[in-house]
Amino acid sequence: MSSKEKILGTAIVLFAQKGYSGLSMRQLAQAVDMSVAAIYHHFPDKNTLYLEAVRFAFSDKEQVFAQVWESGCSAEEKLGGFIRSLIDVMLQDRDFHRLMQREILEADPERMQLLAQGIFKRQFSLLMQLATELAPEQDAQLVATSIIGLAKCYVEYQPLLKNFPGWKPKHEMPEVIAAHITELLLNSLRAKTA
């Protein structure tokens, strides 16, 4: 692993934990056991480093979903597979999830465009295509957004849900969450097309 990759990998974890302004270059330097100037040798400034870290975090997620799309399953099975993969990725790589959350929270228009066009567009298009297949008469973007929103909220609210009445340990199991969401969606989409 090169120094640059080491810096980026550590930056992902620490930016996800502390946020952009919460992480100082000195803290990062200490974490990768280098001098501050060494980091500035690889990256022109903090902002560029952050952007590259975000891009780096996203770079290996693309192929996780490839096998779902390329499988010979039915549309309904593909939906189940996609939801399950999405939840698995977010639960396993929480730094990725938190970094993504932070990016969306910041909502900088320029970065939103970069995020949408450069990173998520392909997956979102495929999901919209699937939505059209399942429910041709509904608005594909609305349906696709609902799918992602449903999956994401369970990961996001997990620390909060523990404290509500009605909480059960199985609510943290990816297969239970995925099954609930998939059923909810298929029930609805089927009802509409029938």
Partner DNA sequence: ATGGACCTAACAAACGTTCAGTAGGTACAT
Partner DNA sequence: ATGTACCTACTGAACGTTTGTTAGGTCCAT
Q: Are 84 and 174 in contact (CB under 8 A)?
A: yes
CB of residue 33 vs its own copies: minimum separation in angstroms?
24
76 burial via Cβ count (<10 Å: 0-12, 13-18, 19+): middle
Residue type, 165: P
Is 110 a binding residue for its own copies by CB under 8 A? The answer is no
| Total number of residues that touch DNA (CB under 7 A) | 21
Of all helices (H) and strands (E), which one includes residue 135?
none
Identify what 175 binds: its own copies, DNA, none; CB under 5 to 8 Å per kind: none
Is 139 a binding residue for DNA by CB under 7 A? The answer is no
CA distance 80 to 105: 28
Identify what 25 binds: its own copies, DNA, none; CB under 5 to 8 Å per kind: DNA
Residue type, 180: H
Q: Are 171 and 157 in contact (CB under 8 A)?
A: no
Is 185 a binding residue for its own copies by CB under 8 A? The answer is yes
Residues forming the site for its own copies (CB under 8 A): 18-22, 98, 101-102, 104-105, 107, 109, 112-113, 115-117, 120-121, 124-125, 128, 139-142, 144-146, 148-150, 152-154, 156-157, 159-168, 171, 177, 180-181, 183-185, 187-192
